[in-house]
Chain A
Amino acid sequence: MVATQEAKQTVQDVTGEYKYGFVTDIETEKAPKGLSEDVIRFISAKKDEPEWLLAWRLKAYQKWLTMEEPTWAMVDYPKIDFQDIYYYSAPKSAEDGPKSLDEVDPELLRTYEKLGISLKEQEVLAGVAVDIVFDSVSVATTFRKKLKEAGIIFCSISEAAHDYPELMKKYLGSVVPVADNYYSALNSAVFTDGTFVYIPKGVRCPMELSTYFRINEANTGQFERTIIIADEGSYVSYLEGCTAPQRDENQLHAAVVELITHDDAEIKYSTVQNWYPGDKDGKGGIYNFVTKRGACRGKNSKISWTQVETGSAITWKYPSCLLIGDGSVGEFYSVAITNNYQQADTGTKMIHIGKNTSSTIISKGISAGKSEATYRGLVRVMAGAENARNFTQCDSLLIGDKCGAHTVPYIEIKNPTAQVEHEATTSKISDEQLFYCQQRGLETEDSVALIVNGFCKDVMKNLPMEFAVEAQKLLGISLEGSVG
């Protein structure tokens, strides 16, 4: 299998270290540390935002002040000092907004090349359009012209606020309300950048769209906001990737993603999340507190979430679907790997509102080391949702005996015609499986990677090709040192 060979190669390349842990030395401009109305005004001014957006932010901030940090998730971490974080940091060279590649600071291009993302190559060879978010700003967006010809909008959220105020006003906060939760309120107040996508009626986006998020500065939070709208009969596949330097302090990432599909439209949203997970003793790493939600507003529309979560010290994340349109479809495919001291509490919510709506949930949790992984999922069938269907499959794989896996399914059915199926399994990588692989010539770590990739196959096959190989490699790397 190609993946395991490459995984091994990569493992050797990085000699067991997080591969993306370097820091780019670049001059930055920051907001003063901490959070206040002034800082929000600073951010808004930096982005030269319209008045309504500043007012929206300030209202969100007032709301946030009245809210409490949630404690229900099965994660444990010291209290976050929200005044000890920078809420805005941008490379000086990026001051005038995203550019074409020729104008991007070469130091930044080198950073992405080191991360294995050659922007030029992506542009020329892979045919994937990329938006690059470095700390608080979008630094480059490729393929814009070609997309524009098809009527597709693919730009940073800051630009969208200027150039497409009507769309922004209509959709911002329409799926994830400001006060949805503590972190969505925080994000609404201070969000810095992210990606805005609009696919017009009847257009099938001719290429994969992707955003690559990178946290570079120390003590800086990343609060991105992404909105994707698929108008009637359109289709788009969107990919998201993330990395951060290796630091001893924890860093906060609190994103909000809103997806909207109209009649007969489809959005496929894939994530490979590889934020720095902390070292093997649990020091450092990203706190990843993310609200992702899609609304299938139109009939027969579809939203599909696929995620491979290997990074972060703590993951708190529930990509969800509101199945409003009759016949709409929600899917959630997830692989979550935790190793060492990582903690992940992740899952989904499928809210069946329209008639004949259906949802599929396939969750694969892999825990190694002293880590804890929880699947938390809600399937809710509202009274008006005739003939709703859900299928849920939750499998946990344990490596070693010091880790934990938990499954917390909530099922609420208010319509008797609903058909809901739930299956759950917990298994271990057995010594027999490992020995069998080794006896055939595979090294221990390759054997683990192979077995884990097999375990995750039902999810991995939903990833776009470009990401699948990367993701397979990551699985192997994340579990390094977990056996033997």
Chain B
Amino acid sequence: MLEIKNLHVTVGGKEILKGLNLTINDGEVHAIMGPNGAGKSTLSYALCGKDGYEVTQGSITYNGKNLMDMDPNERAGEGLFLGFQYPVEIPGVSNMNFLRSALNSQRRYRGEDEIAAVDFLKLIRAKAAELDMDPEMLKRPVNVGFSGGEKKRNEMVQMAVLDPSLAVLDETDSGLDIDALKIVATGINRLRSPDKSILMITHYQRLLDYVVPDYVHILAAGQIVKTGGKELALELEEKGYMGLGITESAA
């Protein structure tokens, strides 16, 4: 599915990722944890091709294709989805229209027919219901005036509709109360399947109680410094980064 080799990324003239290696196979769920400023969001942006995140060395291969040659929308069309740490507001554009445009754009990219309006309506209503979203929210402008929890829930609805093959979720659990956290976990677990992969970026063990990862990585100072099973998250929770011998200014 995804193979990242020796990835170096520079942002604003500063090298943030310094030789990161990560392989995610079909059907696997990976969690990345790490101190603030370690480069977790940088990794997710570099994967999705955000402007200003310059890959200076290394490679990103996705289903055998070189991701680095593609525009962000092409990467999305290839099945890459990013759940944003801070979802963006788009005034005047309803959730429904936004998502339908996005879905159809991805379909066109893949050479598929656009979805009929009726079918789309059915799809989005079903997904909203699964994630306990009030259908009225679908008519509201994208993320405008949404609470933190509603924004994250909205990310999950978008993910469910777009049905990506690799979802990268950047602190989708941060700042959520327990009910909202369960909704997010439901969203992720529903996507989980043998041909899809998930990369969760999180600060906290608690999400991992609901979505049990196959692997846990610790990212510090621009590199993956430790990899383990789900127990690594528990160990981290108990001992802290210092206790695991990880300092923020490592490498």
Contacts and interface: CB of A to CB of B under 8 A. Distances in A.
Interface of A: 1, 4-5, 430-433, 435-444, 446, 450-451, 453-458
A450 B93 contact: yes
Contacts of B102: 437, 440-442
Given A5-B101, A441-B102, A442-B102, A450 B90 contact: yes
Interface in B36-85: 48, 50-52, 71-73, 75-77, 81-82, 84
A433 B90 contact: yes
Contacts of B76: 438-441
B123 to A, nearest CB: 15
B116 to A, nearest CB: 12
5 contacts: A1-B93, A440-B99, A441-B73, A446-B105, A458-B92
A436 to B, nearest CB: 4
A442 B114 CA distance: 14
In which size bucket is the chain B interface? Answer: 35 or more
A458 B87 CA distance: 23
B90 A436 contact: yes
B162 interface: yes
Contact of B101 (A431, A439, A446, A458): A446
Nearest to A432: B88
B104 interface: yes
Given A438-B76, A442-B105, A1 B98 contact: yes
Contact of A438 (B71, B89, B104, B141): B71
Interface of B: 48, 50-52, 71-73, 75-77, 81-82, 84, 87-93, 97-106, 109, 114, 141, 158, 162
Given A433-B88, A437-B90, A454-B92, A4 B101 contact: yes
Contact of B92 (A430, A432, A441, A456): A456
B73 A442 contact: yes
Nearest to A442: B105
Contact of A439 (B72, B89, B93, B141): B72
A446 B52 CA distance: 21
B196 to A, nearest CB: 17
B50 A454 contact: no
Given A1-B97, A1-B98, A438-B73, A431 B51 contact: yes
Nearest to B99: A440
A458 B91 CA distance: 11
Nearest to B77: A441
B91 A455 contact: yes
A230 B141 CA distance: 37
Nearest to A429: B90
A4 B141 CA distance: 16
A5 B52 CA distance: 28
Contacts of A444: 71, 73
A457 B158 CA distance: 22
Contacts of B71: 438, 443-444
Given A1-B101, A4-B101, A438 B91 contact: no
A456 B92 CA distance: 8
A343 B191 CA distance: 50
Given A442-B73, A454-B91, 19 more contacts: A1-B100, A4-B101, A5-B104, A430-B88, A431-B51, A435-B51, A435-B72, A437-B90, A439-B75, A439-B82, A440-B99, A440-B158, A441-B77, A443-B73, A443-B105, A444-B73, A446-B105, A450-B90, A450-B98
Q: Which of A432, A438, A444 is most buried by chain B, counting CB atoms within 10 A of its CB?
A: A438
Contacts of A450: 90, 93, 97-98, 101
A436 B151 CA distance: 13
A312 B141 CA distance: 32
A441 B162 contact: yes
B104 to A, nearest CB: 6
Contacts of B48: 435, 439
Contacts of A432: 88
A9 to B, nearest CB: 10
Contact of B93 (A5, A435, A441, A451): A451
Contacts of B98: 1, 437, 440, 450
Contacts of B91: 454-455
Contacts of B82: 439
A417 to B, nearest CB: 34
Contacts of B100: 1
Nearest to B97: A1
Contacts of A442: 73, 101-102, 105
Q: Which of A430, A441, A456 is most buried by chain B, counting CB atoms within 10 A of its CB?
A: A441
Contacts of B93: 1, 450-451, 453-454, 457
